[in-house]
């Protein structure tokens, strides 16, 4: 049996034993496409188009403004938040959906600084520092800088693994990514949380690249705030609204820097003075983005009955298999994995760095993969990213992608 045939056979055996294999039919994926970009834009769940058509034609088209109450549009942010909560290890009533992750980073960081300062007794040194994971997704860093200027603080960038020791008496807030967006490295925000709390600060977790990909334990691990996207592993659709988690004990103290009218205790009183709502609603700002939110709410149905431990086990098996098959198909020395081998340090994506002369051609390698029906993405300098979404990625997909990568590398090298 040839090496490629052995790979295909192994993939078929793994697919036959996959307890999540049946979930794939819940998604509208085209035959012949290997979709490995669910860490950027999740695939379309099959039931979403009909639900959206109903929302547009009946709820908006016929019920018109009555839908705010009759279709319960008004409560969609909290209702959808409660559907995401189990995927975050959060009890109900702590998650609200709305705005973008960027905006929620801003709300939570400023609120975190405010809480930490309130907790600091008079006479103690001022808390004037925001710690940010040094390899953070850019938006988090930019917003932390602005939050720091607004609150009279400075940002200090520290590697995520050192955040616990880095936190000290000046730390007001810390922002840590659960999974690094570029390398796919899994961080330990629980350890960072212990360190930041010990120092008297508050912590925000960015779970954009972990929610829906692996178990997240916000309640059990003591996160103060968390933010995340819904258009990646939660399949909410392009630009779907993000979520904000505020730990229950902190909700009465959540002092939002964006106190919009929909987070007012009595929005329709149209009062001139602001009085915050109780609970998760305090994280709202303005009118919810109903079309995207209801598409997301429908998309979340694919999680019914899904065990996150099974998702994690399949994600690790898929990424292990892909890494092995890349070694079998891609000529020696062309790519190295930025994604750690160790399961404890691996999220649900594989990032391959092109080496030597191939680095400058990495974007062409990704284009050649797209021509072969394998969709991953490219990040400078020379990084090929492949997201593995256990609900719809098969081991057969991983084998096809690795084989196509070998072909793409040879094709690009042949054009030189």
Quote the least distance from Cβ 118 to ligand PLP, whole Å.
27
Q: Does 226 bind ligand PLP (CB under 6 A)?
A: no
Distance between CA atoms of residues 17 and 208, nearest Å: 29
Give me the DSSP letters along 224-270.
Answer: SEEEE-SSSTT---TT---EEEE-GGGGGG---SS--GGGBSSGGG-
- Terminal Cα-to-Cα distance of the chain (whole angstroms): 33
Quote the least distance from Cβ 228 to ligand PLP, whole Å.
8
Nearer to ligand PLP, 108 or 281 (CB): 108
CA distances from residue 398 to 10, 16, 166 in whole angstroms, order as listed = 11, 14, 39
Which entry of 27, 106, 137, 388 is annotated as an active-site residue? 137
Q: Does 378 bind ligand PLP (CB under 6 A)?
A: no
Nearer to ligand PLP, 170 or 338 (CB): 338
**Rg of the chain's alpha carbons, rounded to an integer?**
23
Nearer to ligand PLP, 144 or 402 (CB): 144
Query: How many residues interact with ligand PLP (rule CB under 6 A)?
Result: 13
Please enumerate, by residue number, every residue annotated as part of a binding site for pyridoxal 5'-phosphate.
101-102, 137-140, 206, 209, 231, 261, 287
Task: Please identify which residue in 41, 208, 362, 384 interacts with ligand PLP, judged by CB under 6 A.
Answer: 208
Can you tell me which residue has the tokens 């609603």? Answer: 281
CA angle (410, 413, 415) in 5-degree steps: 110
- Token pair listed for 18: 């996959």
The angle that helices 138-151 and 101-118 make with each other, rounded to 10 degrees, is: 40
Task: Please identify which residue in 133, 140, 289, 397 interacts with ligand PLP, judged by CB under 6 A.
Answer: 140
Q: Does 209 bind ligand PLP (CB under 6 A)?
A: yes
Q: Does 229 bind ligand PLP (CB under 6 A)?
A: yes
Q: Which stretch binds ligand PLP (CB under 6 A): 202-210, 249-257, 270-278, 298-306?
A: 202-210
Residue 129, burial from CB neighbour count under 10 angstroms (0-12, 13-18, 19+): buried
Quote the least distance from Cβ 193 to ligand PLP, whole Å.
17
- Site map 235..274 versus ligand PLP, x via CB under 6 A: -------x--------------------------------
Q: Which stretch binds ligand PLP (CB under 6 A): 81-89, 137-145, 184-192, 216-224?
A: 137-145
Distance between CA atoms of residues 215 and 219, nearest Å: 12
- Is 255 a residue of the active site? no
Number of other CB atoms surrounding residue 349 within 10 Å: 31
Residues 70-129 within binding reach of ligand PLP (CB under 6 A): 100-102
Quote the least distance from Cβ 64 to ligand PLP, whole Å.
30
Nearer to ligand PLP, 246 or 277 (CB): 246
Phi, psi values for residue 228, rounded to 5°: -170, 160
Nearer to ligand PLP, 127 or 385 (CB): 385
Distance between CA atoms of residues 20 and 313, nearest Å: 10
CA atoms within 13 A on the CB side of 367: 6
Nearer to ligand PLP, 78 or 140 (CB): 140
- Is 137 a residue of the active site? yes
Can you tell me which residue has the tokens 């549009």? Answer: 73
Residue 331, sorted as left (phi over 0), alpha (psi -120 to 50) or beta, turns out to be: beta
Which entry of 133, 206, 224, 289 is annotated as an active-site residue? 206
Residues that bind ligand PLP (CB under 6 A): 100-102, 137, 139-140, 177, 181, 206, 208-209, 229, 242
Which sequence positions are flagged as catalytic? 137, 206, 231-232, 385
């Amino acid at each position: 049996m040839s090496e490629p045939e052995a790979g295909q056979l192994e993939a078929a055996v793994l697919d036959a034993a996959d307890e999540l294999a049946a979930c794939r039919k819940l998604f509208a994926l085209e035959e012949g496409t290997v979709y490995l970009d669910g860490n950027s834009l999740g695939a379309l769940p099959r039931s979403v188009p009909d639900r959206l058509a109903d929302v547009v034609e009946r709820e908006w088209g016929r019920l018109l403004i009555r839908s705010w109450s009759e279709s319960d549009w008004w409560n969609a942010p909290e209702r959808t938040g409660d559907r995401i909560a189990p995927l975050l290890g959060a009890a109900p009533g702590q998650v609200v959906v709305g705005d973008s992750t960027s905006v929620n980073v801003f709300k939570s960081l400023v609120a975190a600084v405010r809480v930490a300062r309130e907790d600091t007794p008079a006479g103690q040194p001022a808390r004037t520092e925001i710690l940010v994971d040094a390899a953070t997704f850019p938006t988090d860093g930019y917003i932390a800088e602005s939050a720091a200027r607004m609150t009279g603080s400075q940002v200090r960038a520290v590697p995520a693994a050192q955040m616990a020791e880095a936190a000290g008496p000046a730390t007001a807030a810390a922002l840590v990514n659960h999974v690094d967006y570029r390398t796919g490295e899994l961080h330990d925000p629980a350890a960072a949380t212990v360190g930041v709390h010990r120092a008297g600060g508050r912590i925000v977790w960015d779970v954009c690249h972990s929610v829906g990909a692996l178990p997240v334990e916000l309640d059990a691990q003591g996160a103060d705030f968390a933010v995340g996207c819904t258009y990646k592993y939660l399949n909410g659709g392009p630009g779907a609204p993000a979520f904000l988690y505020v730990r229950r004990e902190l909700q009465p103290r959540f002092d939002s820097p964006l106190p919009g009218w929909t987070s007012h205790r009595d929005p329709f009183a149209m009062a001139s003075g602001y009085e915050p709502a109780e609970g998760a609603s305090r994280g709202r700002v303005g009118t919810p983005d109903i079309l995207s939110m209801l598409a997301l709410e429908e998309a979340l149905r694919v999680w019914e009955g899904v065990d996150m431990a099974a998702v994690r086990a399949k994600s690790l098996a898929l990424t292990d298999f892909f890494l092995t098959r890349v070694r079998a198909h891609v000529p020696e020395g062309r790519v190295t994995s930025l994604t750690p081998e160790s399961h404890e340090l691996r999220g649900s994506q594989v990032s391959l760095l092109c080496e030597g002369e191939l680095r400058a051609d990495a974007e062409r390698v990704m284009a050649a993969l797209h021509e072969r029906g394998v969709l991953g993405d490219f990040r400078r300098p020379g990084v090929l990213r492949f997201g593995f979404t256990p609900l719809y990625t098969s081991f057969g997909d991983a084998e096809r992608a690795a084989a196509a990568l070998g072909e793409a590398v040879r094709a690009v090298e042949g054009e030189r």
